Amino acid sequence: MCGIVGYVGDQEALGVVMDGLRRLEYRGYDSAGVAILDGGLTVERRAGKLANLDKEVTAHPLTGTTGMGHTRWATHGAPTDRNAHPQTSCDGAVAVVHNGIIENFARLAADLEDRGHELASDTDTEVVAHLLEEQFTGDLAEAMRTVCRQLDGAFTLVALHRDAPGVVVGARRNSPLVVGAGDGEYFLASDVAAFIAHTRDAVELGQDQVVELRRDGYTVTDFAGGPVDVKAYHVDWDASAAEKSGYPYFMLKEIAEQPVAVASTLLGRFADNGNLMLDELRLDEDELRAVDKVFIVACGTAYHAGLIAKYAIEHWTRLPCEVEMASEFRYRDPVLDRATLVVVISQSGETMDTLMAVRHAREQAARVVAICNTNGSTIPRESDAVLYTRAGPEVGVAATKTFLTQITATYLLALYLAQVRGTMYGDEITDIVEQLQGAPALIQATLATVEPVRALARELAGAPAVLFLGRHVGYPVALEGALKLKELAYMHAEGFPAGELKHGPIALVEDGLPVVVVVPSPRGRNVLHGKMVSNIQEIRARGARTIVIAEDGDNDVTPYADSVIRVPQLPTLLAPLVTTVPLQVFACELALAKGHDVDQPRNLAKSVTVE
Ligand code: M6R
């Protein structure tokens, strides 16, 4: 949530910062602003999307080679010009941008007002600008350290001071901030995407650290001013991966990239002895053998991936597996101990709810494995082991390719656990791995046949609501289909287990209501398939317009389906890799037919760094 860019070097900072903000706009898009140092300190900010600010700074460019910018997802204060960042001090000497929530801002603001400061916005951020004004005696980094020690909550802060030319100072606690190290130029950003066009050399900042960027280098300390070790890394993708590459929307590109994303996630994962190769492993096999319970913890789409993983983990490892929304996990005091394996799933690696779940689990001595798409992000750093999904950057706010890669990664993890614990034979594992390796081609084949899904979506753009039904792994797929439609098309959409429908939700079914049904393979549990065919008849008898997703060759559903969407055959547990795809396309096309921006749906941000 909120995108931050800082720059010092020899280029015009405005261009670098605006370009960085464009690449970070997925993090928030209700207002934006920049501050540029050039003898004086000039701030421009505008409510609305970045285009509004762009218009202003194109008409009246700001010059200077030190600067910063912000794209906002509002927490405190409405998305207005006044509440946009940068926020400034009374004397206009300090400008600050912020991502996160300063929990003790009300008390700090009252104290500042008692000391004569006038606060001009409704934001929690503004207090930092005034506190820096008070603390600054020539060393902005030192002032930042002093101020950070007074703050509670989560924050990434970046600041400029009129009297600190060529200096950009950043600080982080519980929110992301990365340094980009170029040749005679340095960057700060919420995400490497902001500076990837200039450098692929990045430096992770740790918890409670302050960084000072100058043209000749950077210095990192803790909040007390002590030296710290930092980890440098090279980003393994380039700027072109975060471009639309001819697609009108990132989401369309990311849907199309799914075969490659899944193939990359599978690539080279097994050593010669068959062991899964985790990217970072601070767990040994004895610890995995001692596990007696698995929790999967995640939010949103990642939570749906976890629900699918539960079926595979329980079936292949015979370990009990619970799946929990991260925002609920720690507050209900789950029973965890050293024999509990907590698997957290997060595309961004920065989702605050999930991060707090990681910390809670580790405090209870549980072992934590992260499945994550973002190298160097906080969640993998704080976990005991990491399996990276290699989907590449996902810019569209709606998760698509990362969902399929998350499912893939959980299959790998489940197979690995099964192997270590001896709950499957080697040839059974090999058989599934081979099926998984064939999945990218089947996802590609699914994508090649989605044109009728698009036509159907356009036809249903006026529907008041859509229901989604599934059984077994088809149930989380139904939830994901409904979530996509809600977030992109702003439509009422619900996913239900098909068997549960008769216990209440069937009352929603009325003449013409579109109901999408994800049908399990008849080659899996025959009884499940048969029951689903009955469920389709039940809703059709009540007037539903039935849209049935069924595997090739399943002709039992045809008589009861108003529309059939075909997907290639895969084993039951792996089927979500193909059944999800038409639902993504359906939601995207329906939202486009309604004239919505599918990359930046209203009220959302991609990386949710507040609880
Ligand atoms: O970065 P994360 O995977 O932790 O994000 C979790 C959710 O916020 C995310 O999946 C969200 O639900 C997506 N926008 C859904 O498309």
532, 545, 571, 370: which is closest to 459 by C-alpha? Answer: 545
Shared domain for 461 and 406, answered yes or no, is: no
Structural domain contains residue 373: yes
**What CATH number is attached to the domain comprising 502?**
3.40.50.10490
Give the pLDDT score at 608: 86
561, 571, 336: which is closest to 456 by C-alpha? Answer: 561
Ligand 1, atom 10, residue with closest C-alpha:
301
The residue segments making up the domain with residue 515 are 451-593
Q: How many domains, the chain?
A: 3
Residue that is last in its domain, among 219, 241, 263: 241
Shared domain for 201 and 258, answered yes or no, is: no
% of the chain beyond a pLDDT of 90: 88
81, 129, 82, 75: which is closest to 103 by C-alpha? Answer: 75
**What CATH number is attached to the domain comprising 25?**
3.60.20.10
319, 324, 294, 331: which is closest to 307 by C-alpha? Answer: 324
Average pLDDT (422-450) is 95
Residue that is last in its domain, among 388, 421, 446: 446
What is the rounded (10 degree) CA torsion for 520, 524, 527, 528?
Answer: -30
Confidence of residue 271 (pLDDT cuts 50, 70, 90): confident
Shared domain for 196 and 254, answered yes or no, is: no
Which residue of 73, 299, 352, 377 sits with most ligand 1 atoms within 8 Å of its CB, as the best mutation to test the pocket?
A: 299
Which helix (DSSP H) or strand (DSSP E) does residue 481 occupy?
helix 474-489
Shared domain for 293 and 227, answered yes or no, is: no
Ligand 1, atom 8, residue with closest C-alpha:
300
What are the Cα distances from residue 195, in Å, to 3, 157, 227?
12, 18, 25
Which residue of 250, 254, 323, 351 sits with most ligand 1 atoms within 8 Å of its CB, as the best mutation to test the pocket?
A: 351
Shared domain for 377 and 438, answered yes or no, is: yes
Report CA(5)–ligand 1 centroid distance (Å).
22
Q: Please tell me the pTM assigned to this model.
A: 0.88
Ligand 1, atom 4, residue with closest C-alpha:
346
Token pair listed for 337: 């101990």
Look at residue 372 and tell me whether its pLDDT is greater than 80. yes
Query: pLDDT for 493-520, tens place per residue?
Result: 999 999 999 999 999 999 999 999 999 9
How many CA atoms are closer than 13 Å to the CA of 16, on its beta-carbon side?
A: 29
Separation CA 543–CA 531 (nearest Å): 19
Of 6-10, 54-58, 236-240, 407-411, where does mean pLDDT reach its minimum?
Answer: 236-240
Q: What's the angle, vertex CA 155, arms to CA 27 and CA 382, rounded to 5?
A: 85
Look at residue 1 and tell me whether its pLDDT is greater than 80. no
Q: By the 8 A CB rule, do 343 and 333 touch?
A: no
Which residue of 358, 608, 609, 611 sits with most ligand 1 atoms within 8 Å of its CB, as the best mutation to test the pocket?
A: 608
Ligand 1, atom 9, residue with closest C-alpha:
300
Structural domain contains residue 200: yes
Please give the mean pLDDT across all residues of the chain.
95
Average pLDDT (305-327) is 97
Give the pLDDT score at 273: 75
Separation CA 41–CA 143 (nearest Å): 18
Q: What are phi and psi of 202, to 5 degrees?
A: -125, 160
Shared domain for 441 and 558, answered yes or no, is: no
Average pLDDT (115-139) is 97
Confidence of residue 607 (pLDDT cuts 50, 70, 90): confident
Confidence of residue 249 (pLDDT cuts 50, 70, 90): very high
Give the pLDDT score at 358: 97
Separation CA 211–CA 221 (nearest Å): 7
Report CA(298)–ligand 1 centroid distance (Å).
9
How many CA atoms are closer than 13 Å to the CA of 199, on its beta-carbon side?
A: 21
Q: By the 8 A CB rule, do 521 and 528 touch?
A: no
379, 443, 381: which is closest to 407 by C-alpha? Answer: 443
**Residue 293 known to be catalytic:** no
Give the pLDDT score at 558: 93
Shared domain for 411 and 469, answered yes or no, is: no
Report CA(536)–ligand 1 centroid distance (Å).
30
| Nearest atom (ligand 1) to Cα of 608 | 8
Shared domain for 119 and 237, answered yes or no, is: yes
Confidence of residue 346 (pLDDT cuts 50, 70, 90): very high
Question: Which residue is catalytic, options 310, 401, 484, 606?
Answer: 606
Report CA(607)–ligand 1 centroid distance (Å).
7
Look at residue 20 and tell me whether its pLDDT is greater than 90. yes
Shared domain for 441 and 472, answered yes or no, is: no
Residue 544 corresponds to which amino acid?
A: A
Ligand 1, atom 11, residue with closest C-alpha:
300
Report CA(460)–ligand 1 centroid distance (Å).
26
**Residue 2 known to be catalytic:** yes
Shared domain for 57 and 201, answered yes or no, is: yes
Shared domain for 93 and 154, answered yes or no, is: yes
466, 467, 469: which is closest to 535 by C-alpha? Answer: 469
Structural domain contains residue 606: no
Look at residue 374 and tell me whether its pLDDT is greater than 80. yes
Pocket of ligand 1 (CB under 6 A): 299-302, 346-348, 351, 354, 397-399, 483, 487, 607-608
Look at residue 47 and tell me whether its pLDDT is greater than 90. yes
Query: pLDDT for 380-394, tens place per residue?
Result: 999 999 999 999 999
Residue that is last in its domain, among 241, 263, 284: 241
Separation CA 36–CA 42 (nearest Å): 5
Give the strands of the sheet with 178-181, arranged side by side.
Answer: 40-47, 31-38, 66-72, 3-8, 186-189, 178-181, 201-204, 231-234
% of the chain beyond a pLDDT of 70: 100
Shared domain for 209 and 255, answered yes or no, is: no
Q: By the 8 A CB rule, do 597 and 585 touch?
A: no
Query: pLDDT for 576-606, tens place per residue?
Result: 999 999 999 999 999 999 999 999 999 888 8
| Nearest atom (ligand 1) to Cα of 374 | 1
In terms of Cβ atoms closer than 10 Å to its own Cβ (0-12, 13-18, 19+), residue 301 is buried
Look at residue 409 and tell me whether its pLDDT is greater than 90. yes
Look at residue 375 and tell me whether its pLDDT is greater than 90. no
Look at residue 18 and tell me whether its pLDDT is greater than 80. yes
Give the pLDDT score at 234: 92
